[in-house]
Amino acid sequence: MRFKLYTLVDITETGARRGEEPKLHRQQQNFLTVMQTIGLRVNPTYVAAPEIIKDIPTKYNLGSKYKTKQSVWKYKFDIDYEGALDVPTLVKDFDLIPIIVDLDETAKFENAHFITQDDALCNIYFEVDDK
- What is the number of domains present in the chain? 1
C-alpha 28/C-alpha 12 separation (Å) is: 6
pLDDT at 5: 97
Max intra-chain CA distance, the chain: 40
pLDDT at 90: 97
Predicted TM-score (pTM) of the model is: 0.94
What is the domain range of residue 116?
2-128
Task: Give tens-digit pLDDT for 27-39.
Answer: 999 999 999 999 9
Confidence of residue 131 (pLDDT cuts 50, 70, 90): low
Are 2 and 44 a contacting pair, CB within 8 Å? no
As a whole number, mean pLDDT of residues 79-91 equals 93
As a whole number, mean pLDDT of residues 47-51 equals 94
